């Protein structure tokens, strides 16, 4: 590995202890500088994501009008199948809470599939919910889906109020994951169902390479064309890469009090479905 850092160092005509020491010292310094730059880049990405999470409502407000179109185009419609799979496995309930309801797709899927009689949704983006309110009205579901502006970290609901809690592609945006999971647990009735859909980082190196290429270059480009905002979609890749998934996520669910926690990856590991009960 040090060869990378010694190629451009003038070679001594003799192998004296002093010249060898200088060679190793220079190589070590070059390696240290590069590692520092890498760590600084990672730190910057993390700080950017934390700042964006603090303003996640405004970020989604800015892309609300084109959000649905962008999702369907960039996923080739697979996002619809993901939601159908997640909601299709639920036992029908009377009351359901959809955390990070956004434009209401999960809530409307639950009503359409008769998995919930009524859905309450909470989100930090009013503009996203405004789109959802229009969609619900057009679908003839007015009165069956309610929207509320608020934080998943401090929800204005009673303990043990809902029979099911769902969250699709919103949990990685929580600034405090464990606090959000604890709130979900608190508002859920004993025996209630938890359903979470979230992006994950593929393990397969070939799939991961294509994933990085798509999310780093193609998705921001499409985002700029469709919504005139490519930066928001660059945040999405960083948030996915930095977020936990699989067994690590299961551990957090158990720490929050949930039981029967399971996960299933879908579409080459691009997304993961988590289920649990209280």
Mark whether 60 and 49 lie in a shared domain.
Answer: no
pLDDT tens by residue, 151-200: 999 999 999 999 999 999 999 999 999 999 999 999 999 999 999 999 99
* CATH (domain of 91): 3.40.50.150
Task: Answer yes or no: do 49 and 65 share one domain.
Answer: no
Direct distance between the N- and C-terminal alpha carbons of the chain, in angstroms, rounded to an integer = 51
| pLDDT, tens only, 69-97 | 878 777 878 999 999 999 999 999 999 99
Question: To 5 degrees, how large is the angle CA 185–CA 189–CA 194?
Answer: 55
Strand partners, 264: 273
| Model pLDDT, residue 184 | 98
Classify residue 2: in a domain, yes or no. Answer: no
- Does some domain include residue 272? yes
- 98 shares a domain with 24: no
Same-domain check for residues 26 and 135: no
Residue 232 and residue 116 share a domain = yes
| Within-domain flag for 141 | yes
- Domain assignment present for 9: no
Number of domains making up the chain = 2
Range of the domain at 263: 56-277
Backbone angles phi, psi at 92, to 5 degrees: -55, 140
Average pLDDT, the chain: 82
Q: Is residue 140 part of a domain?
A: yes
Residue 14 carries which DSSP code?
S
| Residues ≥6 apart with Cβ < 8 Å to 120 | 95, 96, 97, 98, 145, 146, 148, 157, 162
Are 153 and 176 in contact by the 8 Å Cβ rule? The answer is yes
The pLDDT tens digits of the residues spanning 190-210 come to 999 999 999 998 889 999 898
Note whether 178 and 134 are same-domain residues.
Answer: yes
- Three-state SS at 92: coil
Q: Are residues 100 and 24 in the same domain?
A: no
138-175 b/e (C-beta count within 10 Å ≥ 16 → b): eeebeebbbbeeebbeebebeeebbbbbbbbbbbbbbe
Return the pLDDT at 80. 93
Q: Tell me: do 22 and 135 sit in the same domain.
A: no
Say yes or no: 22 and 131 in one domain. Answer: no
pLDDT at 44: 35
- Quick one: average pLDDT of 135-153? 97
Asked if 139 and 86 sit in the same domain, the reply is yes
Which residue in 145, 88, 138 sits closest to 121, CA to CA?
A: 145
**What's the confidence (pLDDT) of residue 30?**
39
**pLDDT in the model for residue 188:** 98
Whether residue 99 is predicted with pLDDT greater than 60 in this model: the reply is yes
Alpha-carbon distance of 38 to 2, in angstroms, equals 17
Q: For the residues of 186-254, what is the DSSP string, one character each?
A: HHEEEEEEEEEEEE---SSHHHHHHHHHIIIIIHHHHHHHHHS-SHHHHHHHHHHHHS--THHHHHHHH
């Amino acid at each position: 590995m040090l060869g990378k850092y010694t190629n451009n160092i003038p070679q001594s005509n003799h192998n004296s202890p002093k010249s060898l020491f200088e060679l190793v010292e220079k190589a070590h310094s070059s390696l240290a500088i590069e590692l520092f730059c890498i760590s600084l880049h990672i730190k910057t990405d993390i700080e950017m994501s934390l700042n964006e999470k603090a303003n996640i409502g405004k970020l989604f407000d800015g892309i609300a009008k084109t959000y649905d179109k962008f999702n369907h185009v960039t996923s080739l419609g697979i996002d619809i199948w993901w939601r159908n799979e997640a909601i299709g496995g639920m036992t029908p309930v009377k009351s359901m809470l959809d955390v990070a309801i956004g434009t209401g797709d999960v809530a409307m899927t639950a009503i359409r599939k008769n998995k919930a009689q009524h859905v309450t949704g909470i989100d930090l983006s009013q503009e996203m919910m405004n789109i959802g309110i229009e969609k619900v009205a057009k679908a003839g579901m007015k009165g069956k889906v309610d929207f509320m502006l608020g934080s998943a970290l401090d929800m204005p609901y009673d303990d043990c109020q809902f029979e099911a809690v769902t969250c699709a592609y919103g949990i990685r945006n929580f600034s405090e994951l464990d606090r959000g999971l604890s709130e979900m647990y608190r508002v859920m009735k004993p025996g209630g169902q938890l359903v979470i859909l979230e992006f994950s980082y593929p393990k397969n190196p070939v799939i991961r390479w294509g994933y990085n290429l798509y999310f780093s270059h193609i998705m921001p480009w499409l985002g700029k064309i469709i919504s005139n905002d490519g930066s928001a979609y660059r945040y999405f890749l960083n948030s996915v890469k930095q977020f936990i998934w699989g067994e690590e996520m299961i551990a957090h669910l158990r720490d929050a009090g949930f039981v029967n926690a399971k996960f299933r990856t879908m579409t080459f590991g691009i997304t993961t479905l988590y289920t649990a009960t209280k």
